[in-house]
């Protein structure tokens, strides 16, 4: 308390009113800040479900990482038209294919610029050198960047591209040729996928000189519509609009990813309009969100499959009778309401039904037959650990709850299941290494083709790549896939893929569980948003509606 010429009482009054004045200023300032945030039409907050495993899409396999890397930061040679899966140009202006189907000659877009970060300012524009660097890094084991950031190119290897591509030839600064060892009906579609994002050869050279090659995966440089400006794991990712983007700068100037793993918290943030969009809204919250007049909602059938994979290299899961028994003991229909609120259907297929004109059919639930098969295989009293998905995905919005339901079903046939999990990046890295016994996982299509599921997740190549979590290699299954790859006629390919499903169903390396609908919730006032059935987010087209 101050003592001065005003006396003690006046001092108290002066002090009191001073405090009131200061508090008023604070609230006035906060009010101005809120008004500024609310009126800032160039800021967009995406409440995402997890931290990316890396910012290099060549080395990622999950939608969370692709949404944080390949979509905002990079471009690919070609892209897919939303809804039709028709291949169209992106960094390549055009292409020609030779008569044998073994050479793809790309004419590249001129004048495309790369990002700048705090240490690197590019002197060169996008060219064939960047295309060659991007693919040779994955293709050549003796490449100076092949082993950087771990060197696990799951997509590239799982789809057999390391065995398909013979050479990437530079013809000129704006021309490059991919030479294939055999024709491939899906090669162009595969180049539209996230893993095929184009990296900067000049940036790689810069990092080599700085002895900082590992920064390629964490301080990314691309040609995409946004530049990474800040990343704090499990907290926030910030991007700024790339003012020199070849299509023109995005209307969103400040793109923020608020990392929010808990679906309930994302729901609450959406209700209070703290988010402009939330990732993977839970079906439990869908009705409430749909009724909020300040929100707009999107829903459609997903191109996804949720599944449980058994590690077939382990003795306890090496017998197909055991795997079939566990499948028969799971009452999939009973999972649909508590997990998906009815916004899904059970499935027995490892691919979305739309791809192969498959009939939706109910799963066979037969616990008595399951007991018989276990007894026949000498695995009565089986015990195993099931890893439950730690993040919300459309094909499995609540991994823990789903695990508990499976646990209860298998207990009825005398099987003891222990549930466990890890944080998302650890979950992915350990599963690639085959450290699991059984694991929850799922897949959303990358290119609208059945091969993307069958080859990437179940082929023998995919075992070595780390994406075949069942560690299952069946030569008959692979023969059908390899024959189908060279077929240009879609009906011939479809017939071969259906034959491969017969092998899958007999051997049962997975239990396919459900194919779900996908949802998105967006704050009203934003224009240009489209729900992508492939599961990734493109924020470049968004703009705020004029008042």
Digits of tens for pLDDT over the chain (547 positions)? 323 332 333 343 333 344 444 434 333 343 433 333 334 678 999 999 989 999 999 999 888 999 999 999 999 999 998 877 899 999 999 999 999 999 999 999 999 999 999 889 999 999 999 999 999 999 999 999 999 999 889 999 988 899 999 999 999 999 999 999 999 999 999 999 999 999 999 999 999 999 999 999 999 999 999 999 999 999 999 999 999 999 999 999 999 999 999 989 999 999 999 999 998 888 889 899 999 999 999 998 889 999 999 999 999 999 999 999 999 999 999 999 999 988 999 999 999 988 888 877 777 899 999 999 999 999 999 999 999 999 888 899 999 999 999 999 999 999 999 999 999 889 999 999 999 999 999 999 988 889 999 999 999 999 988 899 999 999 999 999 999 988 888 889 999 999 999 999 999 999 999 999 988 999 999 999 999 888 899 999 999 987 5
CA-closest candidate to residue 395, choices 274, 512, 273: 512
In the numeric block, which tokens belong to residue 175?
């021309």
In the numeric block, which tokens belong to residue 430?
């350990």
Burial class of residue 316 in the structure, from the number of CB atoms within 10 Å of its CB (0-12 exposed, 13-18 middle, 19+ buried): middle
Nearest 5°: the CA angle 455, 460, 461 is 70
Count CA atoms within 13 Å of residue 317 on its CB side. 27
Residue 501 CA to residue 512 CA, distance in Å, equals 12
What lies within 8 Å, CB to CB, of 59 at 6+ separation is: 53, 149, 150, 151, 152, 153, 154, 217
- Delimit the CATH 3.90.76.10 region(s) of the chain: 57-223
Q: What is the pLDDT of residue 408?
A: 98
DSSP state of 373: H
Q: What is the pLDDT of residue 355?
A: 86
- Delimit the CATH 3.10.105.10 region(s) of the chain: 304-518
CB 192 within 8 A of CB 449: no
CB 476 within 8 A of CB 503: yes
Alpha-carbon dihedral sign for residues 47, 49, 51, 55 = negative
Helix axes 475-485, 490-507, angle to 10 degrees: 170
Residue 285 CA to residue 272 CA, distance in Å, equals 14
pTM of the model: 0.82
Residue 463 CA to residue 456 CA, distance in Å, equals 9
Q: Candidates 3.30.930.10, 3.40.50.720, 3.90.76.10, 3.90.550.10; correct CATH number of 57-223? A: 3.90.76.10
DSSP state of 299: E
Q: Give the H/E segment covering residue 132.
A: helix 128-139
Q: What is the pLDDT of residue 507?
A: 96
Classify domain 304-518 by CATH number: 3.10.105.10
DSSP secondary structure of 95-117: EEE-TTS-EEEEEEPSSPPPP--
Give the CA distances from residue 498 to residues 186, 273, 353, in Å, rounded to whole numbers and listed in that order: 17, 46, 11
Q: What is the pLDDT of residue 153?
A: 93
Residue 198 CA to residue 91 CA, distance in Å, equals 9
Q: What is the pLDDT of residue 212?
A: 96
């Amino acid at each position: 308390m101050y003592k001065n010429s005003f006396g003690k009482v006046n001092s108290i009054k002066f002090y009191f009113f001073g405090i009131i004045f200061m508090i008023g200023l604070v609230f006035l300032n906060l009010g101005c800040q809120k008004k500024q945030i609310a009126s800032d039409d160039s800021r967009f907050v995406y409440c995402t479900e997890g931290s990316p495993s890396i910012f290099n899409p060549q080395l990622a396999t999950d939608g969370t990482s692709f949404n944080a890397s390949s979509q905002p930061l990079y471009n690919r040679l070609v892209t897919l038209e939303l809804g039709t899966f028709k291949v169209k140009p992106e960094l390549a202006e055009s292409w020609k294919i030779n008569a044998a189907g073994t050479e793809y000659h790309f004419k590249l877009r001129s004048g495309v610029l790369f990002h700048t970060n705090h240490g690197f300012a590019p002197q060169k524009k996008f060219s064939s050198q960047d295309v060659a660097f991007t693919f040779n890094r994955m293709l050549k084991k003796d490449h100076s960047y092949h082993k950087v950031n771990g060197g696990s190119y799951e997509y590239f290897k799982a789809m057999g591209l390391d065995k398909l591509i013979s050479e990437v030839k530079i013809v000129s600064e704006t021309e490059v040729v991919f030479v294939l060892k055999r024709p491939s009906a899906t090669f162009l579609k595969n180049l539209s996928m996230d893993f095929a994002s184009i990296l900067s050869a000049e940036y790689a050279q810069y990092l080599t000189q700085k002895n900082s090659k590992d920064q390629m995966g964490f301080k990314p440089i691309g040609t995409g519509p946004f530049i990474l400006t800040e990343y704090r794991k499990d907290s926030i990712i910030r991007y700024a609009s790339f003012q020199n983007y070849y299509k023109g700068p995005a209307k969103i100037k400040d793109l923020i990813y608020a990392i929010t793993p808990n679906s309930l918290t994302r729901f609450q943030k959406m209700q209070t309009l703290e988010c402009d969009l939330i990732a993977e809204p839970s079906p439990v919250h869908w009705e409430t969100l749909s009724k909020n007049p300040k929100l707009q909602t999107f829903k459609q059938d997903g191109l996804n499959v949720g599944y449980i994979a058994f590690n077939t290299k382990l003795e306890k899961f090496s017998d197909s009778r055991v795997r079939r028994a566990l499948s028969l003991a799971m009452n999939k229909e009973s999972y649909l309401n508590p997990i998906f609120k009815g916004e899904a259907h059970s499935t027995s297929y490892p691919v979305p039904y739309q791809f192969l004109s498959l009939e939706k059919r109910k799963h066979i639930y037969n616990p008595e037959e399951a007991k018989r098969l276990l007894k026949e295989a000498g695995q009565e009293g089986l015990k195993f650990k099931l890893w439950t998905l730690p993040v919300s995905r459309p094909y499995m919005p609540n991994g823990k709850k789903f695990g508990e339901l499976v646990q209860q079903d298998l207990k009825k046939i005398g099987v003891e299941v222990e549930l466990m999990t890890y944080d998302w990046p650890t979950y992915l890295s350990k599963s690639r290494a085959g450290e699991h016994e059984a694991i929850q996982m799922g897949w959303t299509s990358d290119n609208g083709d059945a091969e993307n599921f069958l080859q990437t997740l179940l082929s023998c190549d995919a075992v070595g790549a780390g994406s075949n979590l069942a560690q299952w290699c069946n030569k008959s299954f692979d023969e059908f896939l390899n024959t189908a790859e060279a077929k240009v006629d879609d009906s011939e390919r479809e017939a071969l893929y259906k034959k491969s499903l017969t092998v899958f169903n007999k051997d049962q390396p997975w239990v396919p569980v459900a194919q779900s609908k996908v949802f998105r919730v967006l704050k009203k006032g934003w224009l240009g948003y489209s729900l992508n059935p492939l599961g990734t987010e493109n924020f470049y087209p968004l703009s705020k509606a004029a008042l």
